[in-house]
Amino acid sequence: MTARACVIGWPIGHSRSPLIHGHWLDKHGINGTYTKQEVAPEELENFLAKMQAQGFAGANVTVPHKEQALALADHADDAALAIGAANTLWIENGKLRASNTDAYGFLKNLDQEAPGWDETRKSALVLGAGGAARAVLFGLLDRSFDDIRLTNRTRSRAEALASHFDAPIHIVDWEQRNTQVAGCGLIVNTTSLGMTGSPPLELDLSGADATTVVTDLVYVPLKTSLLEQAESMGMRTVDGLGMLLHQAGPGFEKWFGVRPEVTADLRNLVVADLLDT
Ligand code: ATR
């Protein structure tokens, strides 16, 4: 029997998940499909209720359904609950289960591209306070970071975000962000600044030291001006594409029974697609 999975969103045109999962299905010779399903918000509950009957082993969930999918699941894991959103669903014993693999993807990308990044200093500066920042904070706390500085243009959003975690997260005024790069093991951009079509992120890294790792969740372009600046100062940099690739792995394993790898081949495939659009 053909195993089926899909990505659910509204609209769904931009999703690169079919490319990623299609590559892994081919590579592992699995008789399976991974399709895009455009599901309107008012149809989500009905779609999830009928998912198993339609032959789906599970699904990825993207905008705008991540919060609603969490609410509709029979069971959610710690990551989904802490992040307040689900991006991966699967059926187990007839029940709908939910996870959020964004923090996992964020951490695995750093593990692969900047080995040892979390071993010496447990200090980080996080820019932004949206859903992506929430996943990043969950990931950093999971790795026992105990000096987290959070800054966002709208300070109240940073305060609200920090309140979701039972951990000391230090809120820094957006205007003060340059002073906070000193002593950080990691600097993370989770804002949309630097993305094609958005203004660049202005952050002066001159106060950081050469051992700081700098990562950007933006992956269009792959090398943002933040990463260029860090690279020119001799720091290790990690682009955001790897997070997208790694977050897909746990879902694939749930639906198709194989834990896939994020290889250069997969990355090249997605890079080619990014350049094509
Ligand atoms: P996501 O869920 O993907 O993280 P989001 O909730 O839209 O997306 O968050 C976007 C982030 O980029 C926010 O931190 C936003 O700051 P505000 O909370 O102040 O809106 C940040 N951002 C977007 N445009 C910005 C700009 N021009 N200057 C500074 N921050 C910006």
Q: Which one of 192, 202, 220 would you pick to mutate in the ligand 1 pocket, going by the greatest count of ligand atoms within 8 A of its CB?
A: 192
The CATH class for the domain spanning 3-100+248-275 reads alpha beta
Cβ 130 under 6 angstroms from ligand 1: yes
- Token pair recorded at residue 8: 């659910």
- pLDDT of res. 228: 98
Q: Tell me the domain boundaries of the chain.
A: 3-100+248-275, 104-239
Strand-by-strand arrangement of the 88-92 sheet:
32-38, 3-9, 56-61, 88-92, 95-99, 75-76
Distance CA 23, CA 28 (A): 9
In tens, the pLDDT along 48-73 reads 999 999 999 999 999 999 999 999 99
Atom 29, ligand 1: residue with shortest CA distance: 153
Work out the burial of residue 219: count CB atoms within 10 Å of its CB; fewer than 13 is exposed, 13-18 middle, 19 or more buried. Answer: buried
92 neighbors 117 (Cβ within 8 angstroms): no
Atom 7, ligand 1: residue with shortest CA distance: 130
Active-site residue, selected from the candidate residues 27, 50, 66, 223: 66
- Return the closest-CA partner of residue 131 out of 178, 69, 221, 180: 69
In tens, the pLDDT along 113-161 reads 999 999 999 999 999 999 999 999 999 999 999 999 999 999 999 999 9
Terminal-to-terminal C-alpha distance of the chain: 34
1 pLDDT tier (thresholds 50, 70, 90):
confident
Residue 158 Cα: closest atom of ligand 1 = 18
Is position 66 annotated as part of the catalytic site? yes
Q: Which one of 151, 153, 198, 202 would you pick to mutate in the ligand 1 pocket, going by the greatest count of ligand atoms within 8 A of its CB?
A: 153
Task: Tell me if domain 3-100+248-275 and domain 104-239 are identical in fold.
Answer: yes
13 pLDDT tier (thresholds 50, 70, 90):
confident
Distance CA 163, CA 171 (A): 11
pTM value is 0.97
Cβ 268 under 6 angstroms from ligand 1: no
Cβ 129 under 6 angstroms from ligand 1: yes
How big is the CA angle at 217 (ends 216 and 222), to the nearest 5 degrees? 70
The domain 104-239: what is its CATH number?
3.40.50.720
Residue 153 Cα: closest atom of ligand 1 = 19
Cβ 128 under 6 angstroms from ligand 1: yes
Cβ 153 under 6 angstroms from ligand 1: yes
Q: Which residues of 115-134 are buried (b: 16+ CB within 10 A; e: fewer)?
A: eebbeebebbbbbbbebbbb
187 neighbors 161 (Cβ within 8 angstroms): no
CA 104 – ligand 1 centroid, Å? 22
